[in-house]
Structure 1
Amino acid sequence: LDAFLCSINDVKVNNTVDQQPRNVVNGVGGFLRQKLSGQGLAFIIAGGSVVQKNLEVGEVLAVDMSCVVALTASINVQIKYNGPIRRAVFGSENLVTAVLTGPGIVFIQSLPFHRLSQRFARAVTSPNMRGNPKFFLQIAIFFFLAYVVIVSSLILTDV
């Protein structure tokens, strides 16, 4: 989980790698967790649509590992490797699936950063993009608005 962007006031970030045997996949390594604690305001970043799912006790949710944005500490995470046969049968392009078991809250994104960057790369290198600067203008406006929102929230928040 690498969704942490920035924080205000007394928010501490602790990075740990989950090396539990059930969560270690050959060639993938451990599961990076960023634990946020303290009093303050934290900003996290996600791509596409973000869904908050409240998992009940024993409720199970299986999602692409790269789509998990944030979750509460009470959720049990199990990582499963999707081999080539399973990906071929079910048409999945993801290599690792997170099996989340409640109780707790999980935030899921529809467009992880690596997929977003792949789409940008394809769009920028396409032949019809060279004559159409509208795409770059839209990206510039998006980043400017995101910058304005973050700066204004920093200014308006009591430190």
Structure 2
Amino acid sequence: MKKITFILISLITLTNCGVKKKIMLEQKNENFKESTHYNVILPENWKPILDSHDLLGYSPKNLKDINKNIVRIYELKLTGNKESSLNNFVQEDVERLNNIVKIDSQKLSKESTKYGETYRFEYEHNWNFKHYKKTFFYFKHSDFIYKFSYSSEIKYYKNYENDAIFIFNNLEFKKKQK
């Protein structure tokens, strides 16, 4: 009888943890949607996830390990000089990344996208004995600088690159409240 009780309590506890995590993800997703100035449109084969830092990201549904392939979007409020250069911000961020990551190869370019002047920074590096490629898109919209990040284990990069570009191209900005 004690064994049965122990097994039942264990099952309830284990099942409950999964439910709490799903509820927590849904709540974070809702809070995130309310606190940002944009909406994310995902391909059907992608889902919102909580990353290892408990931040909202997006990953293909069929990959169990989120570190293999993830999209994150950072919204950074412009403070002080509203005319501060996007170029200056990008240069500082690239320098910061070079100081904290051992980068194997990198490329910085400037493009024109539907968001206007956009910087694209790509680099490759090794982490935990795996090779990764990261692509960042930086652009300004209203009073914010956006940093769109696509990070993938190199063997998955090309498989999901078009999905990541789809997410980037389909960001929807909310109208300003008056």
Give the TM-score normalised by structure 2. 0.25
Higher helix share: 2
Give the TM-score normalised by structure 1. 0.27
**Who wins on radius of gyration, i.e. which is larger?**
2
